[in-house]
Amino acid sequence: MSRDIQLKERWEKLVTLLSKQFAEGDVLDLDSIIYLIGVQELGKVHQKFKKDEKVNLMHIAICRLLEPYGFYEFDYFDSEGWPHYKVKEELPPLKAGEQSVLMKEAIVNYFLEREVID
């Protein structure tokens, strides 16, 4: 099976699973899944977040997702328990479709590591 087909199948499986669990059957989009990962990484799953905090959660998720690719490195937790990352390497310029594929691949790998999907 080609890598692209495998990624597509795993992505669809993951979206279905997360949509059932967190969106009452509505289909979650890429940004929603990134937000969920940010909440998971922060570890405050039952907290309400303000708009700026939601943006920060998405940033945390993106840093965490791209850390294995060498773009970010975990730095420290601040006094409120928020993780901070430092840039190790700037992201190359990517077209929108390439960004989407990179993020989907990183998300699938994140959930494979946690054995949520196989």
Model confidence pLDDT, tens digit, residues 71-113: 999 999 999 999 999 999 999 999 988 999 999 999 999 999 9
Range of the domain at 78: 3-113
**Structure tokens of 15?**
């979206």
Nearest by Cα to 94 from 85, 104, 108, 86: 104
Asked if residue 48 belongs to a domain, the reply is yes
Please check whether residue 26 lies inside any domain of the structure: yes
User: CA 59, CA 46: separation in Å to the nearest integer?
Assistant: 19
Answer yes or no: is 118 within a domain: no
With respect to residue 28, please indicate whether it lies within any of the assigned structural domains: yes
- Whole-Å CA distances, 61 to 40, 93, 103, 107: 9, 20, 10, 9
Share of the chain above pLDDT 70, in %: 99
Cα gap 49→56, rounded to integer Å? 10
For the chain, the average pLDDT equals 93
Comparing CA positions, the residue from 37, 41, 48 lying closest to residue 104 is: 37
33 domain residue, yes or no: yes
- Decide if 62 is inside a domain: yes
Give the pLDDT confidence score for residue 89 in this predicted structure: 93
pLDDT confidence of 1, banded at 50, 70, 90? low
* Average pLDDT, integer, range 22-31: 90
Distance CA(33)–CA(36), nearest Å, equals 5
Give the chain's domain count: 1
